[in-house]
Chain A
Amino acid sequence: MSKLVTLTIDGLQVSVPAGTLLVNAAKKIGIDIPVFCYHPKMEPVGMCRMCLVDIGRPVIDRATGQPVLEADGSPKIQFGPKLETACTTPVSEGMVVVGMSDKVKAGREDILEFLLTSHPLDCPICDKGGECPLQNLTMDFGPGESRYLYDEKKHLAKRVPLGELIFLDRERCIQCGRCVRFQDEIADDPVIGFYQRGRSLEIVTFSEPGFDSYFSGNTSDICPVGALTTADFRFGARPWELNASASVCSQCPVGCNLTFNIRREAKAGGDWVIKRVMPRQNEEVNEIWICDKGRFAYHFTESAERLTQPLVRKGGELVPTSWEEALKVVADHFRQAGEGLLTLASGRLSNEDLFNLHELTTKLGGKTALYTDQAGGDLVAQVGVGQGTNFSDMGPETAIFVVASDLLEEAPIWWLRVKQAAERGAQLIVANPRPTKLERYAKHTIRYPYGSEAATVLAMVNALSAKRPNLPEAVQNLLRSPELQAAAKAFAEAENAVILFGGEGTGLETSQALSQACANLLITTGHVGKQNNGLIGVWQRANDQGAWDIGFRPLPGLKDAMRAAKALYVIAADPAGDDPAQAETGDFMVVQELFLTATAKLADVVLPVQAYTEREGTFTSGERRVQRYYPAVPQRPGSKADFSVTAQIAKLLDQDLEARAVSKVMQRIAASVPDYAGISYQKLAEVTEQWPIIGRQDLYYGGTGYENGQGLGVQLIPAAQRGETVPISWPQLSNVSVPENSLLAVPVTRLYDHGKTVMPSKLLHQRI
């Protein structure tokens, strides 16, 4: 922490770290200085000149070096001839800032009048109207009337598609450059830029494809006017008609905090519908950003294909029936099946759903299976990242090792934050069979043949310590590679270290080996049990980690187990759809789903459930942060929440599971799953003030992202941090031998996959 500097702003004293910019020092004591081009997440540029303030500095006597004093003994303050920009001026000792003098007010009015001379003033039809910094600041400080001749206004294109997702209105743009700088500084995808100069300055893209960036939606949040709008929300609604409902993204393990903006719509029969998805601030998870998948993939909720009635198979046909009958049929078969019951569920479900499923199944003596081919969630619970881990705190003293994952595609916000950590000096090590964009920022890049990811990590362990579990020939030369040895050294020497391991090119067995190898590397280098240290799984689904914690495990030989099952209970999974070869129904199959999936079509009973946007629940992110989501829109008539369906089946089997209050299910989880002890819905809803302060009256500062009032969640404590010693167990290496430059087809994850919850978003179709 650098030394504190004390200054006075509008009569209030404040002490802030040296180097703090005036605009932020003021914010800390609740004084809002208007800005347009400045954004707390980006470097200051001092372009728009909106933040002009009057700055005085103590007069220092040249001879003595002491401050000159007034008659009354107070230091003599010298004000500059010009106003200065608060967004670019760092605080200095004894500074006196006047943010509200007539001179300053006049300055603001002048700048606003200039901006308005070339603004169309089409607020009545503007998407930003109501949450527009330019509009608000004009109300506060702007001129009453325009002295600029209307017919001399520049007329420009009002519907310029910069890409498929973002539209530009050239008349509204005030050339603050926020979008250009976001793409350059933060997303490092400079596909939009300025063209021409002076008053002709305009935002363009000359890239192919155009403005097609995984983070593009964020530019519409930080655009201080209605110049950038999303194809999704454009002319969709007026901000003041919208209600806000807190949620968590269900698309990937990052767990970005979201706000669903909703309103009633005639075309939905007066029902509440989601109009747009906005980021909700959580500085330890997604800061104030979200990726475009999270922003645009919500349309599954409103899909007309949603199931609204239970179906049972009669005479070979699936026919609608009542919940009573459906549940009874299911319960009867489950009772008969007993330990022949196999429950197959995916990480799309909430912790509460998974808990009830797990209880029901084990009480019947049946088996549970997690629908994934990526292993290691149990290890993450032991040596996962320590409580308090935050990518934003990682710098030169931290090593970040990403293996078998293309983060940008699989967990975009992690990519963003890992990249920024690397730019702050973190030792980034990237190991992958093929190049990924993350390598640009890596200090060490390791290329290994598919199948030898675990061996690669073990090679790093060996590079460091004497123990030598015999390595397959294919990677002996890897061990000799100086790049790998340098990487291992950097990793070991770093004060903190985290590993993100993904599933690229791995199957259940290899991924088991990989996760173990990663755990070994962390343990042998002492990088466990502390914050900013430990293991993170880059899972395929939002709540895979929660499923592991609850007790679900992937099942080797799943296909056979499914065939053998007396009763098969499939929830939020579509094995038949993902791989027709997996089409197994057992003797009797129940499918619990949103849609009539390929698997559902084969089922004997199909149970319609609520979308997560229609109910409450919790997800556990890859960083093992348990986070609450809230109902945004009313449930589809006829559907029930998964946990409740399960509980009602259980009831018919004389089991007692919580069917109504999901918060009560969490109480049971807390009572029976050690890691979750002490977790409650109240605790998950707690918030502390975050920096930068956004989402309040001064939308011009942080943008239209939402302040977090509904909970920052709780990061779990891994076993290692509780003081338990985690034993090393060396992984079994399936003896891979990959011939040089051999061709093998490996499925790689792309951001816009065919996920059940992505397909319904027409907007994303073009990109699938």
Chain B
Amino acid sequence: MLTEKYPEEIRTILAKYPSDQKRSAVMPLLYLAQREQGYVTKQSMSEIAEILGISSTDVASIVGFYTLYYDEAGGKYHLQVCTDLPCALRGADEFLENLCQNLGIRVGETTPDGLVTVEAVMCLAGCDKAPMFQVQSGDGLTYHENQTVESAMNLVKSWRKEEGRA
């Protein structure tokens, strides 16, 4: 239950918007909900609908429209490589390919240990520091720029350590 787990956060989020415009809080609340399982459960959708006085379908539509929300479980870390034009001009496609080979998965797949899902995404406003990627996980979103396959693999190793799987 979000309301029990994050009463403080919810209050601060709602405080950002006029009291008669609660609906504005749907996106921040979805981020909150995603902290838990890394994706938005139907349960938390209806809970958010409850909080905001809108229908579960209204909430779901938001999840469906925006790419940073997930409606199903993925890896603990979403490693999202930008392969858009500017990055591609600086070797992003090759980088992604090699990275996937090293991880032994294809783009869009999750490593067998369920730790990393590798995705190709559109421009992340890091074009001058390609190859680059962002990592989305429960505790937020971080940028990693001027990357090499080594540096990326080291990052993955560090996660595996954390998981005590190394």
Contact = CB atoms under 8 A, between A and B. Distances in A.
Contacts, number: 41
Contact of B65 (A189, A192, A197, A206): A197
B61 A194 contact: yes
A207 interface: yes
Contact of A193 (B42, B46, B58): B58
A191 B65 contact: no
Interface string B39-55: 00010011000000011
A196 interface: yes
A129 interface: no
Interface residues of B, number: 13
A205 interface: yes
Contacts of B59: 206
B57 interface: yes
Nearest to B60: A206
Contact of A191 (B42, B45, B57): B57
B65 to A, nearest CB: 5
B111 interface: no
B148 interface: no
| Interface of A: prevailing SS | loop
Contacts of B136: none
Contacts of A190: 54-55, 57-58
Nearest to B55: A190
B24 interface: no
B112 interface: no
Contacts of B46: 206, 208
A195 interface: yes
A719 interface: no
A519 interface: no
Interface string A203-217: 011111000000000
B55 A195 contact: no
B91 interface: no
B108 interface: no
B51 to A, nearest CB: 16
Given A206-B42, A206-B45, A208-B46, A195 B56 contact: no
A190 B56 CA distance: 9
Contacts of A192: 57
Nearest to B71: A195
Interface in A194-252: 194-197, 204-208
Contacts of A207: 55-57
Contacts of A197: 64-65
A207 B50 CA distance: 12
Contacts of B57: 190-193, 204-207
A204 B64 contact: yes
Contacts of B54: 190
Most chain-B Cβ atoms within 10 A of its Cβ — which of A193, A195, A206, A207?
A206
Most chain-B Cβ atoms within 10 A of its Cβ — which of A189, A194, A205, A207?
A207
Interface in A175-198: 189-197
Nearest to B63: A195
A63 B46 CA distance: 59
A55 B46 CA distance: 46
Nearest to A196: B64
B58 A195 contact: no
Contact of A194 (B42, B45, B55, B64): B64
B64 A191 contact: no
Interface string A3-29: 000000000000000000000000000
A640 B54 CA distance: 52
A724 B64 CA distance: 63
A189 B42 CA distance: 19
A208 B56 contact: yes
B65 A194 contact: yes
A191 B55 contact: yes
Nearest to B54: A190
Most chain-A Cβ atoms within 10 A of its Cβ — which of B42, B55, B58?
B55
Interface in A471-522: none
B147 to A, nearest CB: 29
Interface in A10-64: none
A303 B59 CA distance: 43
A193 B59 CA distance: 9
Interface string B53-97: 011111111001100000000000000000000000000000000
Interface of B: 42, 45-46, 54-61, 64-65
Given A192-B57, A206-B56, A207-B55, 12 more contacts: A189-B55, A190-B55, A190-B57, A191-B57, A194-B65, A195-B60, A196-B64, A196-B65, A204-B60, A205-B57, A206-B42, A206-B60
The 3 closest A-B pairs by CB, nearest first: A195-B64, A206-B60, A193-B61
13 contacts: A190-B54, A190-B55, A193-B60, A193-B61, A194-B61, A194-B64, A194-B65, A195-B60, A195-B61, A205-B57, A206-B57, A207-B55, A207-B56
